[in-house]
Amino acid sequence: MIDFKEPFLSFTKSAFRLETLPEYKVDYEENLIADYIAGKEVEYKNEHIDWWLDLVQDRTAKSMNFERVHVVSEPLTDYLRFKLGVAYPKTSAAGERIRLITEDNFDDICDEDEFDTVFNRWGALDFWLFDDSRLFIMDYADDGTWLGINESFDEDDIKDAMRIRDAVSYASSPFNLA
């Protein structure tokens, strides 16, 4: 099993995340999301979240880039409403650059750039790319439950991840705190 904190602690320039699902089952956010859906005031805080926010703030203060592009489907899921209303404002304030792309625009990019071939090879398009040299392909069940992660050392996979990153970054819009 890969120690998945290690890549976040060892990258030196950039960390990029592509999220393509409308919902992710994240244990440490479950209660927060339930409270948010119930209309309660939610403080985006716990041990895991504090670690993440501290990490992002520390790395971005050292001129390292954290960027995330999230594919947004309509209608918005409760998970996406929570992320947009609670989580992303906090992670953005910590220094993470968050961008959003519509599902239709994402599908168009995948068709135009033949990223469906990559999807078929990887089994997914969710990934983390560190320093343009370390690729971690995320594996999720259809309901967003995390199944595992696979590090790919294949140069073609890494080049494809860079192409996907560049395409979705160009076609996406910045998450706006205002």
Task: List all residues 6 or more positions away from 155 whose beta carbon is below 8 Å from its beta carbon.
Answer: none
Phi, psi of 19 (to 5 degrees): -115, 120
CATH code matching the domain that covers 6-174, chosen among 3.40.1000, 3.30.200, 3.30.870, 1.10.287: 3.30.870
pTM of the model: 0.92
Structural tokens at position 84:
């947009």
Query: What is the residue extent of each domain of the chain?
Result: 6-174
CB 140 within 8 Å of CB 23: no
What's the pLDDT tens digit per position in 129-168?
A: 999 999 999 998 888 888 889 999 999 999 999 999 999 9
Per-residue pLDDT at 1: 41
What's the pLDDT tens digit per position in 130-141?
A: 999 999 999 988
Phi, psi of 113 (to 5 degrees): -95, 10
